Each structure stands twice: as C-alpha cells, then as structure tokens.
Amino acid sequence: MKPSSSTSELFRPLFGDPIVDAELGDRAWLRAMLDFERALVVVQSHAGIVPVDAARAIVAAIDSAVLDPASLGARATASGNPVVPLVRDLVDVVPADARAYVHHGATSQDVLDTAASLVAFRALRPILDGLAGVADECERLAVRHRDTLIAGRTLGQQAVPTTFGLKCAGWLVAVDEARERLSTVRAERLAVQFGGAAGTLAPLGTAGASLADRLADELGLVAPVLPWHTDRTRFAELAGALGSAAGVLAKIAQDVLLMAQTEVGEVEEADGGTSSAMPHKRNPVRAVLVTAAAKRVPGLVATVLASMAHEHERAAGGWHAEWETSTDLLRLVGGAVHGTWELLARLEVHPEVMRRNLDLTGGLPLAENVSTRLAPALGRSEAQDLVAEVCREAVATGSSLLDALLADFRVQEHLSADEIGEALDPSGYVGSAAAFVDRALVAHQRKAER
C-alpha cells in the first residue's frame, strides 16, 4: 500500500527500509487485527464455545474481507480506535446466526495490543536479519584491518595508537548485543492480549484463561500469565531494545562521519552523494541519514515510557499513544539498520591516511610509552614529569618528540637512541588490540552458530 501522505512519499525512502516498511503500514496493521479475530473464533470453535458453522462463516468473511483503512480510520474517531468499525464491518458480512460470535468476549484493546505484538514480531524479523548483515560487515572490516594502525581519539584529540580493526570489533560486539536483546524481546515478550472489558473475560466464564493460551499458540505469540492491559512493560522493553539498537548504529555512523571529514579522510562512502552547490564534495550520505533516523528514536522511546502509567483497568490516552509511536520506532530502526549495512558494505578505508594522521603529532601519542620505560630508573611520577616537559618543548619548538627526546641528556642517561625509537613505534604500543579483535570475532561466531 502506498503511504497515505505526500510527506511520506517525499521522506519515507530516506529513513526506512522497504522490507520493514511492508510490515508496518496500514495494511499490515489491518492484517494483524484480522488475524486476531480469525484466531479468536477458531480457538473458541475448538473449545465448543462457537458453533462450527458460525466459525466457518466468520473465518470465510475475514479471509475474503475487502476493507479500506482510510474508511476505518475516519470512522474510528467516534470510538477512539479502529477496532469498533472493523468489527461492525465484519458483522455486516456474516450470516445473521453467526453475528453474535464475531469478536466474542474480546475488547478493542485485546485486538490492538495483539495486533501491535504481531506487527512488531513480523517487522523485527527483517530488522534482525539486517542487524546480522551489519554485524557481518563489521566482522569483515575487523578481520581485514586487524592490525591497521589508527590514532585512538579521546575527547576529540589524538590519544594512544589503536587499530581500525579494534574499532570495528567494538562496533561488532555492540551490534551483536543489540541484536541479541531485540531477539529476546521478540521471542519472549511479544504476547497475545485477551482479557475482555476489564481483564476478567467474564462472558467466557472460567474457560477464558485457557482460551488465552490457545490463542497465543494459534498466533505464534507468547502466552502471558495475565491480561496486560495496564502492564506496559512488554512494549517498554521493545522500545528500550529498539532505542539501544539505534544508539549502536548511530555510534557507527558518527565514527564514519568524523573519519570522513575532509581534513581527516580516513574513510569515505564508495558512492557518496554530491552537493547541489558544491560538486567537489563527496558527502557521507548514508551516515548522515542513519544519524538523522537515530536522533528521532530517543524521543519515541520516551513517549512509550511516559505512557506506562495506565489508569486502573484501562488507560485514558496512554495506550492510544503507543500505536503510531511503536510503528515509527520500528520503521526508523529498520531504516537505520538498512542504511548502516549499505554504509559498511561500501565503505572505502584508507590505511595510509590513518597512518599519516597518526604521524601528524610527531610521536606525542607515544609519550606514555616513553615514561613507562623511564619509570624503573626515575620512578613513575618523575618519569611522567620529565616526559611531559620534553613534550612541551617539542610542541613549543615544532620539533618531533623523537628529536626532543634525543636532545635531552636526562633521557639519554637511561634510554639509547634505538630504545627511544622503539618506544615511539606505534605498532609496538597497541597492547592487546589484536587479542581483543580475536575475542570479538570468536564471540560473534558463537552467536552466529546459535
């Protein structure tokens, strides 16, 4: 189904994923609501509550229903939700003797909460597949650049050396963990809702509780202990997991944006976009769009959390605030996942520029290594003070740290020229970077094999 507004047609392709979006539109919601009504009459028929002939007639009506989401939405204003007009439309097309069994024992929130669970369950499948693809790209980059030197950066400034492989391994672990959390929510927290008007299923007598379990089996959702009309922890966990995933993807996009700056030039998007006014530019468009999508997610998560306080047995507004919010969350995260995969799959990495940038500071990031080697002779504090003084001298005179150290007799008393050169070799001061990359790769493979 085409988006209903021209705004969506303008901007939806920038921030969505067609596969995920197909599980989130009006037709997807309508399908999920009809799936609930169908499953409801099926399990009630099996339990002897609905006559077999009536159940068959209702199922046939549902399967052949041609419903207009726009019409349902327009008529929903009278009741505050689209379930009421949906049920009326179904009642109108079933035989008279079956009408009493349409939507039997259920309430509007049962339909919409279950539909929301089904929509999320279905949309999360391509999102999880996409996150697996993102993780695989992180793995590929981590393997290829396991030992590629790059300046570590803290508070925006060069720190000690690290490797680009370790940076990618960090992305990998975070993506795997975000994916695992979303997978758990999908498998364990998306539940059927069936409680009737006030959570008692009074019209069904004592058979209601077992029917809820059968309904869950029929729909492939979790069977809750109780109806959860006013317990919104399930959707809060979904929102939180989506928010975490968006944050992980935003971190990757931001790193790429920073490394792709003209003055840095360590990476670039293979087919980056151009500017309408500045044709020389090669803009990191995918990183920009992932960042934009991710920036919208925390506010949506906050809306879900702020909506958790439901009054007594049915909310007056909090429940209603979740419908579009959860849909937007899934859409934006789906788009961010797809955009991040495209970004990493087409990322051009420039190791020679990484090394050149590392050398821009004339060895200053290795000062810690020099002071460590001087510490046995001078003591830790004295060694740090001496090296800090030499660093200041190097900066003031515009010389390299190597030249400044070689010119200082106090340093030469304890370290030879070869030892100083060795201390300033960044490849010898990346610690456990390679081991950490390997650990991340092993952990990823274990998760992939589950």
Active site residue 275: yes
Count of CB atoms situated within 10 Å of the CB of 163: 24
Residue 221 makes CB contacts below 8 A (sequence gap 6+) with: 114, 117, 118, 121, 190, 191, 192
Please give the C-alpha separations between residue 276 and each of 7, 11, 56, 122, 282, in angstroms, as whole numbers. Answer: 21, 18, 60, 39, 11
| Burial (CB count <10 Å: 0-12, 13-18, 19+), residue 157 | exposed
Between CA 290 and CA 253 the distance in angstroms is: 6
Catalytic residue status for 314: yes
- At residue 13, what are phi and psi to the nearest 5 degrees? -65, -20
CA distance 40 to 216: 10
CA distances for 256 relative to 12, 100, 227, 298, angstroms:
23, 60, 45, 21
Residues 6+ apart with CB under 8 A from 431: none
Q: How far apart are CA 142 and CA 205, in angstroms?
A: 59
Determine which helix (DSSP H) or strand (DSSP E) holds 442, and give its type and residue range: helix 433-449
CA–CA dist 391, 407 (Å, integer): 12
Cβ–Cβ < 8 Å for 225, 266: no
Query: In the beta sheet, which residues pair with residue 158?
Result: 153
Question: For the range 395-399, what are the long-range contacts, defined as Cβ-Cβ under 8 Å and sequence gap of 24 or more?
Answer: 395/364, 399/362
Q: What CA–CA distance (Å, rounded) separates 427 from 85? A: 69
Catalytic residue of the set 79, 275, 416, 432: 275
DSSP codes, 4-63: SSHHHHHHHHHH--HHHHTTTSHHHHHHHHHHHHHHHHHHHHHTTSS-HHHHHHHHHHHH
Task: For residue 348, give both structure tokens.
Answer: 């051009």
Q: Which of 144, 181, 314, 355 is catalytic?
A: 314
Q: Which residues contact 397 (CB under 8 A, 6 or more apart)?
A: 404
Catalytic residues: 275, 314
